[in-house]
Amino acid sequence: MAVENGKADYGIVPLENFYNGEVRETLDSLTECSQTKIIEEKVMTIVHCLGTLKNSKEIKKILSKDQALEQCSKYICENYPNVKTIATSSTAEAVENIKEKAMTDAGAIASEEALKSSGFNILDKDICPKNKTRFIVLSRKISEKTGDDKTFLVIHPPIDKSGILYNCLKTFSDSDINLELIQSRPNREKGYYFYIELSGHKEDERVTKAIEKLQEYLDPKEEYPNTIKILGSYPNSHWKE
């Protein structure tokens, strides 16, 4: 919102985690913006560790941010099947809570640095291997073409036609445009928003024409606002490779 209303030049928010999938709050917020564009993607490797206080006994509960608990759920199930998980507002808060309350029966999932700097014992390192999160950089400017770009758009079909998603995908397939991500979110009515990330810059002729064709199919008289909203074009980081 700070980028949208001009209080900040740039913002950075998580879009997708390798294990958890898309970040819903980000998708929902992007739908509400009109000025804000995605100008870049940045990938960060996330190394979760499990730590306890030095004098701790058997672990009966594990504290961490909800997303971190989800990402590590396989590890927790396999290694601490009977432990209670408690969500905190950040991984740092998990560490602080345990320290402040001198909880000797609790573990925290956080980064190695956060655990060490609070004097915790590290019981296990990188408990959710290969974990990474894709962040997007937001701005009110637009990124220029680099020749290897992606475009992110949100489609809000004005009428609940049957087979809408199929026809959207067909338009891109017919234009030989590769899709990198497809997601849907309920629109708080009976329908859905569809989020599509495709290969190519929005100024590439192939992309421009496909989007025109899609607009023609979904809302030929342009009666509805934001039937197709382009959320930005930006260089492809090939983050999953």
Tell me how far, at minimum, the Cβ of 87 lies from its own copies, in Å. Answer: 5
Among 2, 24, 44, 209, the residue binding its own copies under the rule CB under 8 A is 24
**Which listed range, 7-15, 118-126, 138-146, 172-180, lies at the site for its own copies (CB under 8 A)?**
172-180
Give the pair of three-digit tokens for residue 133.
Answer: 């999160």
Q: Is position 89 an interface residue for its own copies (rule: CB under 8 A)?
A: yes
- State the Cα–Cα distance between residues 191 and 165, nearest whole angstrom: 12
- Chain centroid to Cα 149, Å, comes to 19
**Neighbour-count burial of 44, counting CB atoms closer than 10 A to its CB (0-12 exposed, 13-18 middle, 19+ buried):** exposed
Tell me how far apart the terminal alpha carbons of the chain are, to the nearest angstrom: 32
Q: Is position 185 an interface residue for its own copies (rule: CB under 8 A)?
A: yes
Buried b (16+ CB within 10 A) or exposed e, 19-30: bbebbeebbebb
Backbone torsion region of residue 107, taken as left when φ is above 0, otherwise alpha when ψ lies between -120 and 50, otherwise beta: beta
Q: Is position 147 an interface residue for its own copies (rule: CB under 8 A)?
A: no
DSSP 204: S
Buried b (16+ CB within 10 A) or exposed e, 79-112: ebeebebeebeebbbbbbebeeeebeebbbbbbe
**Which listed range, 19-27, 112-120, 202-210, 222-230, lies at the site for its own copies (CB under 8 A)?**
19-27
Contact positions with its own copies (CB under 8 A) in 41-80: 66, 70
Nearest to 215 by CA among 234, 202, 233: 202
Among 58, 100, 223, 241, the residue binding its own copies under the rule CB under 8 A is 241
**Which listed range, 12-20, 36-44, 52-60, 107-115, lies at the site for its own copies (CB under 8 A)?**
12-20
Strand pairing class (37-45; 132-139): antiparallel
- Closer CB to its own copies, residue 119 or residue 186? 186
- State the Cα–Cα distance between residues 70 and 62, nearest whole angstrom: 12
**Which listed range, 2-10, 47-55, 100-108, 170-178, lies at the site for its own copies (CB under 8 A)?**
170-178
Among 122, 186, 203, 216, the residue binding its own copies under the rule CB under 8 A is 186
Q: Is position 81 an interface residue for its own copies (rule: CB under 8 A)?
A: no
**Which listed range, 46-54, 96-104, 151-159, 169-177, lies at the site for its own copies (CB under 8 A)?**
169-177
Contact positions with its own copies (CB under 8 A) in 211-240: 240
Tell me how far, at minimum, the Cβ of 43 lies from its own copies, in Å. Answer: 14
Query: Which residues are at the interface with its own copies (CB under 8 A)?
Result: 17-21, 24, 66, 70, 86-87, 89, 162-163, 165-166, 169-170, 172-173, 178-179, 182-186, 188, 190, 240-241
